[in-house]
Amino acid sequence: MLRNGLEPWHLLIVAIMIILLFGSKKLPEAARGLGKSMRILKSEAKAMKEESAPHASASAVPTAAAEPVVTPGTAVPGPGVGDK
């Protein structure tokens, strides 16, 4: 059905229609805005990858402070103790 759907002359017609719709003055502004948003998106994605890498390695190693250590003979406060 769409074996030859996008031929070069189809793309030319689409380009001409975009120029006619938006005008030649708006297209450079739109391209600048698109480029700027792509740069921001790439930098944010890179920052998220760098931020998640240390968390992944730190969460794989259990810490000693995760569980309280209770020695025999030590009283453990229950709920409501010290609440005033």
Q: What share of the chain is helix, strand, coil (3-state, %, to 5)?
A: 65, 0, 35
Please give the structure tokens belonging to residue 77. 């406060």
Q: Are 30 and 22 in contact (CB under 8 A)?
A: yes
Note the pLDDT tens digit of each residue in 18-66: 888 888 888 888 889 999 999 999 999 999 998 887 655 555 555 555 5
What is the pTM (predicted TM-score) of this model? Answer: 0.42
Whether 5 shows a pLDDT value over 70: the answer reads yes
Position 46 scores a pLDDT of 94
